Structure 1
């Protein structure tokens, strides 16, 4: 619980937030009565200095404990982000009434101080001199309640006949939604005698969090009226469950309905755009935020940086970064991670150095970005030093993600045995992702004995996932052990595990098109395959030979060549070539890691066509220019 703070005109120790100028505050004209002071307080919420002046005036005039003045002061201190001052004033109040109790509980719940809010509620219930809680008290306490305690409050609200109150019922519904108890939320929703926008939105949120987007949309469509919050809730649901196209369609519908987006809407749209890699749509959203005069907070600017990095425009990301006046660690992290993602490792490390000079303390996310930068460039010495400095110089204990980065760095550099020893001896239990990274390194450097040992460990301990099975198939296919490849596929089928299908998208004229291997669904398929054949002839003239060892099927050589020829990346590039002006940069986005054959082909295509091709795969960006890639064939 917070300790009492010091107010103007009072004695005692200064609080950590005391104003250094409080002795020179000029009081308002006196004398002022309680009603006048209360009116002035209402008008001074946005100016903390004026609020302190009025509090001082109230103390000098003896009205500071008047119920109306006291209530207004407590609420105003909370509204400027000082619930500690609200609490100190509350503690000085003799026999607080129900409004003061409810207000102080609400203030703490609103500011995320859930433990303090619930402790106050408990004190209220246990004190014989306190008034009984009303509907507003219950709804405030429920905002701070985890689901187990919330169920107890549900029972208590029934005993006190408060469940019929719309605020209490809606707060309960929101509590069940936060706790992912869909069944209880729906039962409560169906029994509500009157449903508000807030209760509808809570039900939409509940279904969306649970991944049942069809029912979320059904409740959304049933709403008699909608506000920005409910649009945001459904949009966020689509985004969180990897349905970015549906999120953007919903956003366009929102605009057509005349609903004005807020900062939360734009944040959701930008996150959706980041998933799609749709730079044009991201720029449009940025421009819309400007024209709508949505405040460019550090959070919004950081999300813009992340969007521009993931959509392939470091220049725009830097422009936004430079526009931020007070850069926090999240903004710095976004640039470090962005540069690492684009293979500009030295730039990422330079930003880390600049961040240190700016006296901004790094976080665990900072080191994930820095270690990834080292991994993508093969900077083994630097990576080891950064990993060692985390705990030694910054007091940051490495997490599983940091071990994953250093294992990836060592594995890519061919130090597979060292990486294996690190995994076995680290203080954290390795997860399947970490083992998978090591398994991929075994395949890359053809360390088959260690690869099989790791694969057996994963299979025998039930730690395998689709990625593990695919990597193991790769290992056996590289050895020509087709019976083992077939066995692994049977295991996948028996386990109900399905390989994630490869998909590549490309944006042309602000429309995103998706391709899978051998795709014939596009209206321009005929033209795409004509272009593909023309490119294949030019590639053969340049000495290109298909890397058929990458095909994980026991097929004849011509069939393997055909399988490689129709990979989704190649189809997307061909569509880009016939759909855009000569010289235009082609940007494609692959949901999986690009294969070596497609990487080789894309380098040659950039040379043959004179086009810059930017490819984002699951791991990073590749910038292909004049036959070379930014990754230096190290990825």
Structure 2
């Protein structure tokens, strides 16, 4: 597709009857950025000025985003600071989103927060997407307190949260074992007029399971199916099988496995590993080996995790 666009663009220039405008350049720049073709992206970016086609905010944002996607966060930051120092550039949320995301994913949370704090200086208010990026960054780093403070600030500033916001909070709180707080935020989803999806349910079900609160996990599993009409995915089932097995509730784990077969989902290596682990921990080696046999005859390749879970190995 990009090759066709490139050809048309060259035709436009060579014919001389149709001069490419900033929107045309932006379209191609965006395509280069998304394809990771940085060399072509920069060549075209430089070419714009020589063709008296002044890059606009969208142009600069595309280049910044392309650099971040290619893992060149520092180059993207250098370009941002150059543009700011020139004085003609008005950054938007589309400028800050990729930069804050790139810094967060690189573990440079302090710099991401600094950039976030400086947004208002340039007349740009953080929106829900920007908050989500930062909350997610701190959450994934295990800094749940900072993530929660950012959420409270978001509410205070009148920025409406979305399902992603709540999912990120549920995830990071479960990750650090603060399941009661995670449950509070999960319940807040419906109170806010939002509908939890399978991802949101999976996060809280897994968090409860890991904390050995299996009854509550199963309650939510039944709620998502019956009250909400949400179809569980393989992650839902695998998480339940694993946590039920670890808690010694292997019969329930077996029932969940039967449910996978009943709904026509294909199990994967993690499904079998979780079952094998449960049976091994409960002192039922014959059941563990029976699952292993089912797995191999079913054409699934065991991994190191499979052999580690099998009883009396070595």
What TM bracket, shorter-length normalisation? 0.7 to 0.9
In 2 relative to 1, CA 196–336 (structure 1 residues): closer, same or farther, beyond 3 Å? same
* Aligned 8 A contact 2:277 2:310 in 1: no
Q: How does 1:69-468 map to 2 (within 5 A)?
A: 181-193=1-13, 194-210=19-35, 213=36, 215-223=37-45, 224-225=47-48, 226-237=55-66, 243-244=70-71, 246-258=72-84, 259-323=89-153, 324=155, 325=158, 326-358=160-192, 360-415=194-249, 418-419=252-253, 421-426=255-260, 427-430=263-266, 432=268, 435-439=269-273, 442=276, 445=280, 449-450=289-290, 452-453=292-293, 455-456=295-296, 460=299
Task: From the two aligned structures, give the one with the greater strand fraction.
Answer: 1
In the superposition, relative to structure 1, how do residues 440 and 393 fare at CA in structure 2: closer, same or farther (>3 Å)?
Answer: closer
Distance 1:412 1:234 in 2: 49
Unpaired runs of 5+ in structure 2? Answer: 14-18, 49-54
CA distance in 1 between partners of 2:311 and 2:108 (Å): 36
Q: CA RMSD in A?
A: 3.3
Which of the pair is proportionally richer in helix? Answer: 2
**Structure 2: how far apart are the matches of 1:228 and 1:471?**
50
Deviation string, structure 1 residues 79-119 (Cα, Å, up to 9, x no partner): xxxxxxxxxxxxxxxxxxxxxxxxxxxxxxxxxxxxxxxxx
Deviation string, structure 1 residues 159-215 (Cα, Å, up to 9, x no partner): xxxxxxxxxxxxxxxxxxxxxx333333333333244443333334334434xx2x2
Q: Cα–Cα, structure 1 residues 476 and 267, in superposed 2: closer, same or farther, change >3 Å?
A: same
Please give the per-residue CA displacement for 1:486-519, whole angstroms capped at 9, x wherever unaligned: xxxxxxxxxxxxxxxxxxxxxxxxxxxxxxxxxx
SS in 2 for 1:343: coil
Q: Cα gap change, 1:425/1:327 in structure 2, threshold over 3 Å: closer, same or farther?
A: closer
Q: Evaluate the alpha carbon distance shift between residue 405 and residue 232 of structure 1 in structure 2; reply closer, same or farther with a 3 A threshold.
A: farther
Deviation at 1:340, TM superposition (A): 1.6
Q: Distance in 2 between matches of 1:280 and 1:371?
A: 32
Give distance in 1, aligned partners of 2:311 and 2:30: 46
Q: Which runs of 5+ in 1 are unaligned?
A: 1-180, 481-635
The structure whose Rg is larger is 1
The aligned length equals 286
How far did 1:262 drift? 1.5
Q: Which has the higher contact order (CA 8 A, sep 6+)?
A: 2
Measure, in 2, the Cα distance between the counterparts of 1:340 and 1:275.
20
Per-residue CA deviations over 1:442-478 (Å, capped at 9, x if unaligned) read: 35846652563365257x36xx6xxx64434656898
